[in-house]
Copies of this chain bind each other. A is one copy, B any other.
Amino acid sequence: MKITSSSDSRLPLYQRLSDEWLAKIASGEWQPGQAIPTEAELTQQYGVAVGTVRKAIDCLVNEGLLERSQGRGTFVRRPQFDASFFRFFRQLPSTGEQGIPESHILSNRVETPSATVRHALELEEHEEVVHLKRLRTIRNGHRFYEEIWLPAKAFYRLAELQPDEFDQLLYPFYEAQCGQIIASAQETLSISTAQEEVAERLQLAEGTPTVLVERVARGYNRKPLEYRIAQGPTQGFRYQIDIN
């Protein structure tokens, strides 16, 4: 089999292979949770040595896209990092009662994006977005008010649903409903104050300081798929990061 992706032939073989396979994952030809062909098969298909196949796989494993399991095979990893939002609360106050994590969609509409949103999602002038509003209650009772914008082109289905048809976790839901997979994200934390709708939804006095978490989430191809602003009370807020 030839390498079909438009990769620069000056690049090393293993790099071209791993690009090729990245494309297969991005396109859904290799589905999350499923096994990819065995090393032997890939060796044959592409007419390269095992070592080269292994090195190409190594790259994708390092990037967190594949997962090896000795004796079973190599699998496309399902990025499960909605959980990463919860680095907020790694250390929970050890109250016995934990409260129930909840997520309520307040509204879901197609809109013309503001300049900020259009810029964050790298959209063209005329493109529209699906705009979600959502109220989340995290384990320890902390409440977050979120606004989420998604390119309507790929996510129009979400505007056709009833708010109560949404799942708690959005990223798997995106995948199920729209075939879009979130692979990475960038978050920016800052401090703001509660105004109008935010204040009301969070039951805070206007002007109360809040934590503001901005997130741009991207697909395998690094194109932005979601822009999100979450706002919540500062009290008890914790955000933990490992630096290496």
- Contact surface of A with B, Cβ cutoff 8 Å: 62-64, 81, 84, 183-191, 209, 211, 234-235, 237-244
Contacts and interface: CB of A to CB of B under 8 A. Distances in A.
A234 B211 CA distance: 10
15 contacts: A64-B244, A81-B243, A184-B242, A184-B243, A186-B240, A186-B243, A187-B240, A187-B243, A188-B238, A189-B238, A189-B240, A191-B209, A191-B234, A191-B235, A191-B237
Given A185-B243, A189-B238, A62 B62 contact: yes
Given A209-B209, A209-B234, A244-B184, A239 B63 contact: no
Contact of A189 (B84, B184, B235, B239): B239
A189 B189 contact: yes
A235 B63 CA distance: 35
Contacts of A183: 244
B185 A237 contact: no
A186 B63 CA distance: 21
A244 B63 contact: yes
Contact of A191 (B62, B81, B211, B241): B211
